[in-house]
Structures are given as C-alpha cells and as structure tokens.
Amino acid sequence: MTREGRPTSPGGAAPGRPHAPTFTGNRALALEEPLLFEAGRLETSGVDFEAVPAHESRLGGLARKAPIGLPGLAEGECVRHFTRLSRQNYAIDMGLFPLGSCTMKHNPRLNEKMARLPGFADIHPLQPQDTVQGALELMHRLQDWLLKLTGMAAVAMSPKAGAHGELCGMLAIRAALDARGDARKVVLVPESAHGTNPATAAFCGFAVESIPANIRGRVDLEALLARLGPDVAAVMITNPNTCGLFEPDMKAIADAVHAAGGFVYCDGANFNAIVGRVRPGDLGIDAMHINLHKTFSTPHGGGGPGSGPVVFSAALAPFAPLPFVEEEAGHLFLVEEENAAAHHASAFGRMVAFHGQMGMFVRALAYMMSHGADGLRQVAEDAVLNANYVLRRLEDVLSAPYAATGPCMHEALFSDAFLDGTGATTLDFAKALIDEGFHPMTVYFPLVVHGAMLVEPTETESRARLDQFVGAMRALAARAREGGAGAMKAAPIHAPRARLDETRAARTPILVWQPPAADRLAAE
Ligand SMILES: *Cc1c(COP(=O)(O)O)cnc(C)c1O
C-alpha cells in the first residue's frame, strides 16, 4: 500500500471522494488504520519481560548494538489493529466472490473442525511413522479418491499449489524424455492459457510456442495438428479452458500428440466444472494438477495455503516424485527412496522437503467424504448451472463473445464491447461494482478477449444472491450507456481505499518502512 493512498490528515477526504470530512478520518464504523510502525511505540509492549540477569555474553561481537526498532503495542491495541485491518478485507464469508478462474466457493466449517483435530494438526513430519498411521491413512484415502475421480494411474501429493503442480508434471515429462534420450524442446500452449503454463514450461527449459484459439474460443485443432512434429515435447492445455469452455477435441488432440511422440499436460485448475462427470484419464491426458484449494474447497487467496497434487498416466507414473504413501497388510508407510520394486522406480526427485500440505489434505478429504461421489457430481452440475444463469441473464446488456456457441462451463466470459463509446472501461466497471458491495470479477483475463470480465459464481451461491449480482451488473451497464462513465471513473467511493497504483506497487514495492523525514532528523 502506498502512503499516498491514505488521507493525508485527520478528516481529509482523498481526492475525488465526495465525502463530508470527519474529524478522525474514519467513515462510519470503517476505521482508518495506520501501519503498526506508525501506531507502535518502542517503549510499549504486550508482554512484560523480566530484566535479563547478569551474564557473560557468548555472542562474540555479534550482539545487537542499537535497539531492534520493532513497534510495541499493548495487547488490546494489537488485537484492534488486526481486527480493523480484517474488516477492510473482503472475504467469501462476507459475500459473493465471482473471481473467474479462482473458484472462490464456500469453505464448509466441518472441514475446519476436522483439520483442527490434534491427530492431524499437532503432528510433526519427522515423527516415527508408527505414531502417525491415521494421518498416513488419510493421505492414502485422498490419493485413492483423486485417482478414481480422474481415472489416472498415479498421483504425487506433495506439490503446494497449482503452479507448483505444473512444475511437477513438466519435470516428470522432462524425466520421461531424458530416459529415452529424447531432446525435444518445444511445448505448445494455447493463447488462452493461464500465465503460469508458459512460465512453467520455460522454467523447465522448454521453448514455448503459442497455438491460436478459433472463433469458438477453443484451441484451433488444425493449427495444433499442423505444428506437431519430432521437436514437440508436450502440449499444455487447460480443460475446461480459461474462456470457461470445454475443449471437445481433447481426445483427438491427445491421440495426435501421442502419435507424434509427445506428452499431454492438462491444467486441471478448472476441474470443479467436470468433477464426477469426466475422467481426465479417459481423454488421454498424461499429467494434470488438481487445485485442492479450488475444486475441493480449502481456503485460499490470502485465506490459506494451496495444494496441487498431480495425477499421472501409466506412461509417466514411474517418473513421479517422492514421497508417496503405500499400504501393505493394513500398515501404511511413506516411500521416500527410489525403489525399483515399487512404483515410481525412476522418480525424478522431490518437490518439497516433506509430504505436502497436510491441513489441505484433511479439508479436501472431509469435503469429498461429506459430499460423496454423487454430491461431487452435483457440485460440477450446479457450478455450471449457476455460471450459465449469469451468462444468460447478462448476455443482452453485456457482450458475451462465445454465448452463441452454446452453454459455458463454470464461468461466464464477457468482453468490453458493450462499453464502446461510453467512455467507461472494464476497470471502471469493476471498481463501480465494489461500491455495490461485490468483489469484482476477474478482469482483463483471458487475453484472447478484449477488456475481459470473467465471472465464476461457483455452486455455493443461492439464486437470490445471483439475482442481486445480476441486478447490480445490469444497473451499471445501464449507467454506462446513459452517460454515467464520469461517475464510474471516481469509483469506488465507499471503499476504504480508492484506486491504488497497482503497477507501481508491483514494480517498485516499498518493503521496508522508513520513518518520516522529520522523525529521522530528530533522531540524528
Ligand atoms: C489458479 C490457476 C492456476 C494456478 O494455481 P495456483 O494454485 O494459484 O498456483 C493455474 N491455471 C489455472 C487455469 C488456474 O485457474
């Protein structure tokens, strides 16, 4: 957050914000919040430390000479600081979070209860395996669910997010190619791909080439087939893709890639739309990551860590990384070394020091078991139904470039064509939505659509909530059409902050707090 983003003095409204100034700078019960460094005082502390008894230092000249400079706050002030900050944050527990591609669904509280059981929460990864049989059984069962749901041959549980899973899958492909002495270098990626796909391929030393989309928003099959050859190591395809559309040619693509000696990586981040209905193994996929934190509802995006297990075909299974859990005569154990007799005989190595995100495993399995196989299928159906409801209720006032090609999957994609000539942009539209009490949808992604707005309601929103969202979107579209772009440019006017310079924050982040110049002078 830039300092400029904050009102400069108590009671001063930020520029362009038509508010009666208040003495404190607070707005109703939305309280302004300084940084801890600005609020804290070095002489205060939430804890009373006893004076250190006389002792002989063994730090040998390494002892700190100046005060550490951490801000001190009494416990009550500290609690208030973080509570005030949390109230400035929007969360799925507060309302609709239609961020396309992110699958922000409700996180059932049952999962949280399970994850806090001491047998799962209070164990250590280096504990003797005999003392953690229950935790290993949980991992084993989760492996089993993932293999059954995907129809694949093996699974690596350890990757810690979707992008980490992509790395795992592409490293396995690299290892399989190396094992047969094949130096193929090219990875084909559709132009609608999530940015992590080309980044992963490049990180693994592959040369990335883009495959165009056709006018129906799918991979251009002709272009892909024409490019296949002995230099192509793999294709990376997202299915359902980032336009929210199913790739109907997936099997034909996989067959052609295999015939040309390459592998098929599927970005499975959108598995939510097809879980229980389509088994990726039946489509000829060789490796696919699953975002447990999306499809299987574990808190993410500031709310918790991710987890990205990768499923493998029989061709890649021997190269999958260590460790993995096996069962023999009711005894569970971790396979941590390469072992010619076991699966993964040619494991390419490890992705992490230990076993992966145990807390996410517990939540994901609790989610699967409480839904059951039929419930998971209904998750996919309801997610697709909700997205199509949004698409059809908005296509007459927004621009929906692929609506005519049939139903969408779990997310509805709009372009900014409906804003042509209004003076408003996709960004203005998204900011105005904040004033209406909604977290905006994903904007300007995927890149194949101009000024994209990608709405993913997920299956956990009610009809009433969707109607309210649709109502807000329709009202904003009408406002833009009727010459209201000027007001939209000032949005959001009701949020704690208006428009931050996100580019500057990303390119030149200020990571170390500096005391204001006046304080520095006084200290010198
Ligand atoms: C979310 C997502 C990813 C990346 O997953 P992370 O867990 O954020 O690393 C990759 N591809 C697609 C299509 C996604 O939606």
Q: What is the pLDDT of residues 78-129, one digit of tens each?
A: 899 999 888 888 889 999 999 999 999 999 999 999 999 999 999 999 999 9
> Are 458 and 383 within 8 A, CB to CB?
yes
Q: Does the beta carbon of 163 sit less than 6 angstroms from any atom of ligand 1?
A: yes
Ligand 1 touching residue 308 (CB < 6 A) = yes
Q: How far apart are CA 362 and CA 115, in angstroms?
A: 6
Start-end of H helices in 12-59: 36-39
Rounded (5°) CA angle 253-259-265: 50
pLDDT at site 28: 73
What is residue 9's predicted lDDT score, i.e. its pLDDT?
A: 39
Best probe residue, ligand 1, of 102, 196, 307 (max atoms within 8 Å of C-beta): 196
Q: Which residues pair with 327 in a beta bridge?
A: 332
**Under 8 Å CB-to-CB from 429, ≥6 apart: which residues?**
416, 419, 453, 476, 480, 488
Q: Could you tell me if the CB of 161 is within 6 A of ligand 1?
A: yes
**pLDDT for position 321:** 95
CATH class of the domain comprising 110-366 = alpha beta
Query: Which run of H or E residues covers position 328?
Result: strand 324-328
Distance 289 CA to ligand 1 centre (A): 9
Q: Residue 11's pLDDT is what? A: 39
CATH code that applies to domain 380-507: 3.90.1150.10
Partners of 334 in the β-ladder: 325
Average pLDDT over residues 215-242: 95
Calculate how far, in angstroms, residue 167's C-alpha sits from the geometric centre of ligand 1: 12
> For residue 296, how far is its CA from the centre of ligand 1 (angstroms)?
14
pLDDT the model gives residue 71: 85
Please, which pLDDT band fits residue 287 given cuts at 50, 70 and 90? very high
Q: Is 90 exceeded by the pLDDT of residue 445?
A: yes
Q: How far is the CA of 380 from the centre of ligand 1 (A)?
A: 18
Q: Which two tokens stand for residue 33?
A: 């919040």
Q: Please, which residues have CB within 8 angstroms of residue 433's CB and are 6 or more apart in sequence? A: 439, 440, 441, 472, 473, 476
Point out the ligand 1 atom lying closest to the alpha carbon of residue 242: 13
Name 27's bridge partners: 30
Among protein residues, the one whose CA lies closest to atom 15 of ligand 1: 101
Q: Which residues neighbour 112 within 8 Å (Cβ) at sequence distance 6 or greater? A: 363
377 Cα to the center of ligand 1, angstroms: 22
Lowest mean pLDDT among 8-12, 348-352, 464-468: 8-12
pLDDT band at 36 (very low <50, low <70, confident <90, very high): confident
Mean pLDDT is lowest, of 41-55, 148-162, 352-366, 480-494, for 41-55
Mutation test residue for ligand 1: of 103, 291, 298, the one with most atoms within 8 Å of CB: 291
The pLDDT value given to residue 41: 80
At 520, is the pLDDT very low, low, confident or very high (cuts 50, 70, 90)? low
User: In the predicted model, what is the mean pLDDT of residues 172-187?
Assistant: 97
Centroid of ligand 1 to alpha carbon of 195 (angstroms): 9
Query: Is the pLDDT score of 3 beyond 70?
Result: no
Say how far apart CA 300 and CA 285 lie, in whole Å.
Answer: 27
- In angstroms, the CA 404 to CA 383 distance is 20
CB atoms inside a 10 Å sphere around CB 317: 22
What value does the CA radius of gyration of the chain take, rounded to a whole number of Å? Answer: 26
101 C-beta closer than 6 A to ligand 1: yes
Q: Is the pLDDT of residue 4 over 90?
A: no
Residue 187 contacts residue 194 (beta carbons within 8 Å) = no
From the CA of 86, how far away is ligand 1's center (Å)? 25
What integer pLDDT is reported at residue 384 of this predicted model?
Answer: 98
Domain boundaries, the chain: 110-366, 380-507
| Angle ∠(413,419,422) on CA atoms, nearest 5 | 170
How far the first Cα of the chain sits from its last, in Å, is 28
pLDDT of residue 16 exceeding 60, the answer is: no
Find the 173 Cα to ligand 1 centroid distance in Å. 19
Band (pLDDT 50/70/90 cuts) for residue 519 is low
Whether 408 has a pLDDT exceeding 80, the answer reads yes
pLDDT of residue 72: 87
Altogether, the residues listed in the chain come to a count of 524
Dihedral, CA of residue 116, residue 117, residue 118 and residue 121, to nearest 10: -40
Measured from the Cα of 294, ligand 1's closest atom is 1
- Work out which ligand 1 atom sits closest to the CA atom of 196: 10
Q: Are 359 and 121 in contact (CB under 8 A)?
A: yes
Q: Which residues contact 98 (CB under 8 A, 6 or more apart)?
A: 104, 390, 438, 439, 440, 441, 455, 456, 457, 469
Give percent above pLDDT 70 in the chain. 94
Mutation pick for ligand 1 pocket among 104, 166, 194, 243 (CB with most ligand atoms within 8 Å): 194
Q: What is the pLDDT averaged over residues 209-217?
A: 93
**Range with top average pLDDT, 78-82, 396-400, 498-502:** 396-400
Q: What is the pLDDT of residue 458?
A: 97
The span from the CA of 192 to the CA of 218, in Å, is 9
